[in-house]
Amino acid sequence: MEKPYLQVALDLLDLPRAVAIAEEALQGGADWIEVGTPLIKSEGMAAVRAMRERFPGHEIVADMKVADTGALEVEMAAKSGASIVCILADADDAVIAEAVRAARKYGVRLMADLINVADPVARSRELEAMGVDYINAHVGIDQQMIGKSSLDLLARLAGAVQIPIAVAGGLDAATASAAVQSGAAIVIVGGNIIRSADVAGSAERIRSAIDRPESRPPQAESPDAAVRRLLEAVSAPNISDAMHRKGAMTNLVSICGRVKMVGRAVTVRTIAGDWAKPVEAIDVAGEGDVLVVSSDGVTNVAPWGELATLSCRNRGIAGVVIDGAVRDVDDIRAMAFPLFARTAVPNAGEPKGLGEINTEIACCGQEVRPGDWIVGDESGVVVVPRERAYEIARRAVEVKKTEERIREEIRRGRSLAEVMELLKWEKR
């Protein structure tokens, strides 16, 4: 079998950055350069021309995602220097037929992107019969965030067509290696190369995983374990960004400073500093849970202190959030326990048993339900709704990756405004 190709997908907005990143990716062993759809939307065919001029010896793939006017869009890309043009597999047969005619006329090849196709096997066979040159088993970025896998799609295509199959969608070194073992002839990687601080190094790792694929049995992981692993890898600000600036609790401070907390909420409602329900909830919570206590913002009396914190630590509870006051701060600090509260006060409340455990509560400006995910660090606390936890955790990891590349470019001497092209992207 011919050596699989590594195609780097330049899903960026800015052409000079894209050229610089393409150079680094080629140094690391990428073969084909994809002018990504966001770059085409931002810079137009100028991006395709620039890549052709700068990299004359490489395949230039224009990810046009053609949905209509097949001939016109293929012609544009071909005349700008693309050697491969991407069309949507789901486009009408009339669009595909026109795209194929134009591709033959202008001497380029067509790659059909299976994103969102209902019956990928049947459609791939039809596309092959219509003259498409490559099939792309592609799971899009938003689909990846809800757990869809390009490797599953690739597996469905085994033996379905004779033309080469490309695969794309969140691939890294391990999944690129698995893709090659499942028959992929072209491995397309975007985020895990272009948003790395070390683009050449990341491309190199993927290149060697493709060239020397290893079979490693996939690690079984429960959905909860996956969410926890992902949330532990990101910060509260990463999560807030991933949630479009929603989910942040207000007016809280981290009593022990530099601590991190991730866990599912056990909710508590208490009244007038009554500490019975918060303390009873310690025995309701399991290892890794977070107690979230609503005390209606009361700050002249504390429903929480050192002995409760010690008890939490013994049970492996991940942290506590209180929209009120706490006491015994010096002893709690010595434990370095993740405790988030509004303030400190010496008075304890009375344990009368007012309130309830594990009902929906309002706490620090957020609605919290039992089982929602709570993440806290020195920047504050965010609430992640339980039904979107996996998606938000995945998106937060992407936010972090994007920042890694931006940080590297600032280290190299550019300003944040330059890297982000703030002036260009101000809202008009």
Ligand X SMILES: O=C(CO)[C@H](O)[C@H](O)COP(=O)(O)O
Interacting residue ranges for ligand X, rule: CB under 6 A: 9, 11, 36-37, 63, 138, 140-141, 168-171, 188-192
Question: Tokens 């194929």 — which residue?
Answer: 100
- 230-to-109, 127, 204, 343, 406 alpha-carbon distances in Å: 39, 38, 25, 30, 21
Q: Give the span between the Cα atoms of 383 and 373, in whole angstroms.
A: 6
Contact 236, 374 (CB under 8 A): no
To ligand X, the closest distance from the beta carbon of 181 in angstroms equals 18
To ligand X, the closest distance from the beta carbon of 204 in angstroms equals 16
Element (H, E) at 264: strand 261-269
User: Got the DSSP string for 37-70?
Assistant: HHHHHHHTHHHHHHHHHH-TTS-EEEEEEE-S-H
DSSP 3-state assignment of 33? strand
To ligand X, the closest distance from the beta carbon of 11 in angstroms equals 5
Cβ-based nearer residue to ligand X, 61 or 318: 61
Cβ-based nearer residue to ligand X, 113 or 328: 113
Question: Tokens 């079979």 — which residue?
Answer: 215
To ligand X, the closest distance from the beta carbon of 141 in angstroms equals 5
To ligand X, the closest distance from the beta carbon of 414 in angstroms equals 23
Q: Give the span between the Cα atoms of 170 and 162, in whole angstroms.
A: 25
Closest of 385, 372, 274 to residue 322, by C-alpha? 274
DSSP 3-state assignment of 173? helix
To ligand X, the closest distance from the beta carbon of 142 in angstroms equals 8
Cβ-based nearer residue to ligand X, 190 or 278: 190
User: Got the DSSP string for 105-136?
Assistant: HHT-EEEEE-TT-SSHHHHHHHHHHHT-SEEE
To ligand X, the closest distance from the beta carbon of 282 in angstroms equals 42
DSSP 3-state assignment of 344? strand
Cβ-based nearer residue to ligand X, 230 or 281: 230
Cβ-based nearer residue to ligand X, 141 or 399: 141
Cβ-based nearer residue to ligand X, 84 or 368: 84
Report the residue closest to ligand X, judged by CB. 190
Contact 262, 287 (CB under 8 A): no
Q: Which residues pair with 356 in a beta bridge?
A: 269
Cβ-based nearer residue to ligand X, 171 or 339: 171
Which residues make Cβ contacts (< 8 Å) with residue 179, sequence separation at least 6? 150, 151, 154, 167, 171, 187
Contact 105, 77 (CB under 8 A): no
Cβ-based nearer residue to ligand X, 176 or 249: 176
To ligand X, the closest distance from the beta carbon of 115 in angstroms equals 7
Cβ-based nearer residue to ligand X, 191 or 370: 191
To ligand X, the closest distance from the beta carbon of 63 in angstroms equals 5
Both tokens assigned to 84 = 């491969």
Pairing of strands 343-344, 325-326: parallel
Contact 180, 172 (CB under 8 A): no
